[in-house]
Amino acid sequence: MNRIALRQSIMRLPMVIGGMSEPNPPKEAEFDGQTIYLGNYYDYGFDAENMILENAALLGRMNDENLMHGMPPVGGVVEYIFVPTTTHYLLFAALKLDEMMIGESFPAEAPIAWMERGTSEYDENEAENEENWNYHAQSLALLITHFRNLFSYHEKSDTIDQDFEGDLLEAAVKSVKQEIDSRNSVS
């Protein structure tokens, strides 16, 4: 159930009944001149060996009462984790539905947004500087792009009723809400 909710509610991918689907091509979005891809990076040659786990960071959580649509809807928590690799910056989502509704389960995890690093290959000099490196700009770009996609159907920002924990998540959601409100004030 967690995997279905992650694909449908967070990645906004279509539901597949009765088998496997071909990977959907990733959506491309521009953020400050950088191309950010949205989808399931597992489908596009993701190599876990390239992850730099010591620099991974929990960015925050989103609590949503309607992660799995149905009668009644099932809520849960989505954790957002930033993970650099030798070639990309990744935004992972880990979704866990309310166990009171579905029973005991493990969270479903997937890299849901990614962008290439500034250099084409990981540089050893870069590795030495990474412990002092701040990933806020990259994390914020990935989060804003993800939330633009996630909330693209909202016509008013006050209809976004999820709860957010974490400074970067709150900043990204605030930015997207402002975009929604300014888009509608122009209309």
140 touches 168 (CB < 8 A): yes
146 touches 38 (CB < 8 A): yes
Residues whose CB is less than 8 angstroms from the CB of residue 8 and which lie 6 or more positions away in sequence, other chains included: 14, 15, 68, 69
90 touches 114 (CB < 8 A): yes
The pTM score is 0.86
pLDDT in tens, 108-135: 998 999 999 865 444 555 555 555 567 8
pLDDT in tens, 18-33: 655 566 678 899 999 9
pLDDT of 120: 45
pLDDT per residue, tens digit, the chain (187 aa), is 888 888 888 887 766 666 555 666 788 999 999 999 998 777 666 777 888 888 899 999 999 998 887 767 888 999 999 999 888 899 999 999 887 777 788 999 989 999 998 654 445 555 555 555 678 899 999 999 999 999 998 999 999 999 999 999 999 999 999 999 998 776 5
Whole-Å CA distances, 149 to 12, 30, 49, 57:
8, 12, 28, 22
Residues whose CB is less than 8 angstroms from the CB of residue 178 and which lie 6 or more positions away in sequence, other chains included: 157
